[in-house]
Structure 1
Amino acid sequence: MSITGVARGLALASHPGPTVAVTSFTALLAASAGHTPARAVLVTAAVFTGQLSIGWSNDLVDAARDRAVARSDKPLVQGVLPDGALRAATVVALVACVALSLACGLASAAVHLLLGVASGWAYNLYFKRTALSPLPYAVAFAALPAVVTLALPAPAWPPAWVMATGALLGTGAHLLNTLPDLAADEATGVRGLPHRLGAEAVRLLAPAVLLAGSVVAGFGRGLDAVGGALLAICVALAVVAVRARGKVPFLAAIGIALANVVSLVLAQPR
Structure 2
Amino acid sequence: MSISGVARGLALASHPGPTLAVTTFTALLAASAGHPLGRGALVTSAVLTGQLSIGWSNDLVDAARDRAVERSDKPIARGDLPARTVRVATGATLAACIVLSLACGVASAAVHLLLGVASGWAYNLYFKRTALSPVPYAVAFAALPAVVTLALPAPVWPPAWVMLTGALLGTGAHLLNALPDLADDEATGVRGLPHRLGAGVVRVLAPAVLLAGSVVAALGRGFDPPGVALLGVCVALAAVAVQGRGRVPFVAAVGIALANVVSLVVSQSS
- TM-score scaled by length of structure 2: 0.99
Deviation (angstroms), 1:77: 1.6
Q: Determine helix, strand or coil for the equivalent of 1:267.
A: helix
Q: Which runs of 4+ in 1 moved over 3 A?
A: none
User: Which piece of structure 1 moves more, 196-205 or 76-85?
Assistant: 76-85
1:142-161 equivalence runs, <5 A: 142-161=142-161
Match of 2:85 in 1: 85
Query: How far apart, in 1, do the equivalents of 2:139 and 2:223 lie?
Result: 26
- CA RMSD between the two structures: 0.6
Q: Determine helix, strand or coil for the equivalent of 1:152.
A: coil
Match of 1:46 in 2: 46
Query: How far apart, in 2, do the equivalents of 1:77 and 1:88 lie?
Result: 17
1:204 correspondence with 2:207: no
Q: Determine helix, strand or coil for the equivalent of 2:268.
A: coil
Letter in 2 for 1:211: L
1:11-160 equivalence runs, <5 A: 11-160=11-160
Match of 1:192 in 2: 192
Query: How far apart, in 1, do the equivalents of 2:189 and 2:79 lie?
Result: 23
Query: How far apart, in 2, do the equivalents of 1:222 and 1:138 lie?
Result: 23
Gaps of at least 5 residues in structure 1 are none
Q: What is the aligned length?
A: 270
Query: How far apart, in 1, do the equivalents of 2:100 and 2:183 lie?
Result: 38
Q: Determine helix, strand or coil for the equivalent of 1:268.
A: helix
Match of 1:166 in 2: 166
Query: How far apart, in 1, do the equivalents of 2:197 and 2:75 lie?
Result: 30
Letter in 2 for 1:125: L
Deviation (angstroms), 1:222: 1.7
Query: How far apart, in 2, do the equivalents of 1:220 and 1:58 lie?
Result: 35
Q: Deviations over 1:122-146 (max 9, x none)?
A: 0000000000000000000000000
Q: Deviations over 1:124-179 (max 9, x none)?
A: 00000000000000000000000000000000000000000000000000000000
Q: Percent identity?
A: 80
- TM-score scaled by length of structure 1: 0.99
Gaps of at least 5 residues in structure 2 are none
Letter in 2 for 1:150: L
